[in-house]
């Protein structure tokens, strides 16, 4: 009886385990100086997750914290546009890739910064175009790992990851980033959105991922003329949903047309509209976020210091 696979020492000479271990070590070393790694997720698309990521990150940075944003939506990147850094090109060095600097000293990395043209879709090399889609999920996982481990984030108080919609993304990220501090769920006041958010909450719970809180977006209409918030969809039940799952309700963001326009202009809303209902809500959420991890927004890493 000839020897079997297990009888032969080693792995055939490629040291795959060693290579994967090295990948993990690189990731851990890069993540080590980052105090809090937070994923912003929604089960459903179109709930304003990226706009909330940008403004929440800016609000936290305005308190003096060192903050980064990784646009983990590889196929529909929008963070670069929303922070006005689109068109800049990250510098690639032997040590890694420098994130570009955005407003409030945000350190930003996005697939959008690597694509040559506006129309360029994210497709991966493969034997045939059909095969490229077969491998898409695996390649995206690899790309996300590289964005985390090869970007020179430096010391950060917060790294926000703007995930693409989809409940499954939570599992993928948890697999890639074991040190995830927690997730923030974004919903809108609709039964459809609540339904999907419940799935995300249940999955996060199964994976034992800490849930930092729930944000309800488009909760009412913020009239900039009379300074009141009127009804837009049905009255929000986000706080009740958070209560049902025993998680913190970080707050509700009313619909404000200026918020939508700020995404197009590349200047975060909260940076220039601090004294509006929505602006104040973002700042309150930033404080809630500190509270969610049991810290105060003081003793932060000096912003801009790598």
Partner 1 sequence: MKFLCLACDEGMKLETASGPRDGSLEATFVCPRCRYRVAMLTNPWETQLVQTLGVKVGGRAAPASPYEQVLGSLARPESEAEGSAGHELTSAGCPFAGMLGQAEQTEPLAGVLWTDAAKVRIERIPSFIRPMVQRAIERYALEQGHHLITDAIMDEARSRLGM
Site for partner 1 in 92-131 (CB under 8 A): 92-97, 100-105, 111, 114-118, 120, 122-127, 131
Reading the block at residue 246, the tokens are 């025993």
Residue 64 interacts with partner 1 (CB under 8 A): yes or no? no
Q: Residue 296 carries which DSSP code?
A: -
- 161 DSSP β-pair partners: 39, 70
Give me the residue label for tokens 């385990």: 17
Residue 76 interacts with partner 1 (CB under 8 A): yes or no? no
Q: Are strands 156-162 and 67-71 parallel, antiparallel or unpaired?
A: parallel
- 109 DSSP β-pair partners: 70
Do 5 and 148 meet the contact criterion of CB atoms below 8 Å apart? Answer: no
Q: In angstroms, what is the minimal distance from the CB of 226 to partner 1? A: 19
Residue 3 interacts with partner 1 (CB under 8 A): yes or no? yes
- Among positions 220-259, residues that touch partner 1 (CB under 8 A) are 258
Q: In angstroms, what is the minimal distance from the CB of 271 to partner 1? A: 5
Reading the block at residue 41, the tokens are 């997720």
d(CA 208, CA 60): 26
Residue 175 interacts with partner 1 (CB under 8 A): yes or no? no
**Binding-site size, partner 1 (CB under 8 A):** 75
Q: In angstroms, what is the minimal distance from the CB of 203 to partner 1? A: 24
Among 166, 210, 266, 297, binds partner 1 (CB under 8 A): 266
Q: Residue 276 carries which DSSP code?
A: S
Do 218 and 268 meet the contact criterion of CB atoms below 8 Å apart? Answer: no
Among 35, 76, 132, 207, binds partner 1 (CB under 8 A): 132
Q: For the window 15-54, what string marks contact with partner 1 as x by the rule CB under 8 A? A: xx-xxx-xx--x----------------------------
Residue 59 interacts with partner 1 (CB under 8 A): yes or no? no
Its sign, for the CA torsion 43, 291, 208, 178, is: positive
Residue 160 interacts with partner 1 (CB under 8 A): yes or no? no
Of 42 and 149, which CB lies nearer to partner 1 in the complex structure?
Answer: 149
> What stretch of H or E contains 123?
none
Q: In angstroms, what is the minimal distance from the CB of 304 to partner 1? A: 10
d(CA 230, CA 235): 10
Residue 146 interacts with partner 1 (CB under 8 A): yes or no? yes
Residue 261 interacts with partner 1 (CB under 8 A): yes or no? yes
Residue 272 interacts with partner 1 (CB under 8 A): yes or no? yes
Reading the block at residue 170, the tokens are 């939570």
Q: In angstroms, what is the minimal distance from the CB of 218 to partner 1? A: 17
Taking each helix axis as running N to C, give the angle between helix 49-62 and helix 277-292, from 0 to 180 degrees, rounded to the nearest 10: 80
Among 24, 150, 245, 248, binds partner 1 (CB under 8 A): 150
């Amino acid at each position: 009886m000839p020897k079997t696979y297990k009888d032969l020492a080693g792995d055939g000479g490629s040291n795959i385990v060693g290579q994967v271990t090295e990948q993990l070590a690189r990731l851990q070393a890069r993540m080590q100086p980052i105090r809090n790694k937070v994923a912003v997720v929604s089960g459903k698309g179109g709930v304003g997750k990226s706009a909330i990521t940008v403004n929440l990150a800016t609000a936290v940075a305005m308190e003096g914290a060192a903050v980064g944003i990784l646009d983990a939506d590889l196929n529909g990147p929008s963070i670069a546009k929303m922070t006005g850094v689109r068109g800049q090109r990250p510098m690639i060095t032997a040590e890694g890739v420098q994130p570009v600097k955005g407003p409030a000293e945000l350190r930003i990395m996005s697939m959008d910064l690597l694509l040559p043209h506006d129309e360029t879709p994210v497709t991966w090399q493969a034997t045939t175009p059909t095969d490229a889609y077969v491998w898409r999920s695996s390649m995206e996982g690899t790309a996300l790992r590289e964005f985390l481990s090869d970007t020179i984030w430096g010391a950060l108080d917060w790294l926000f990851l703007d995930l693409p919609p989809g409940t499954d993304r939570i599992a993928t990220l948890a697999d890639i980033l074991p040190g995830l501090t927690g997730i923030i769920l974004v919903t809108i006041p609709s039964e459809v959105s609540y339904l999907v958010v419940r799935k995300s909450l249940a999955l996060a719970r199964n994976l034992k991922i800490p849930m930092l809180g729930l944000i309800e977006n488009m909760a009412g209409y913020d009239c900039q003329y009379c300074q009141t918030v009127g009804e837009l969809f049905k009255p929000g039940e986000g706080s009740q949903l958070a209560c049902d799952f025993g998680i913190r309700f970080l707050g509700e963001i009313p619909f404000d047309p200026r918020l939508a326009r700020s995404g197009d202009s590349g200047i975060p809303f909260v940076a220039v509209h601090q004294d509006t209902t929505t602006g104040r809500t973002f700042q309150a959420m930033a404080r809630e976020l500190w509270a969610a991890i049991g810290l105060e927004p003081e003793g932060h890493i000096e912003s801009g210091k790598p």
